[in-house]
Structure 1
Amino acid sequence: MTEPSTLTGQITTRQLREQLSDVLGRAAYAGERIGITRHGKLSAVVIGVEDLEELEEFEMSQDLAAYRAAKAEDDGERVSAVELRRQLADDAS
Structure 2
Amino acid sequence: MERQMDSGEARRMLPDLVARAAYGHERTVIAKRGRPLAALISVDELRLLDRLLEEHRDRVDAEAADRVMADETDRIIPFRRTT
TM-score (norm 2): 0.76
2:24 corresponds to which of 30, 48, 66: 30
Flag as ranges the 4+ runs of structure 1 deviating above 3 A.
Answer: none
- Could you tell me which residue of structure 2 aligns to residue 67 of structure 1? 61
Please, what is the CA RMSD of the aligned residues?
Answer: 1.6
Give the strand-richer structure, 1 or 2.
2
Q: Distance in 1 between matches of 2:7 and 2:26?
A: 17
| Structure 1: 5+ residue stretches without partners | 1-6, 78-93
Matched, 1:12 2:6: yes
Q: Distance in 1 between matches of 2:4 and 2:64?
A: 40
% identical equivalent positions: 25
| Structure 2: 5+ residue stretches without partners | 76-83
- Could you tell me which residue of structure 2 aligns to residue 42 of structure 1? 36
TM-score (norm 1): 0.69
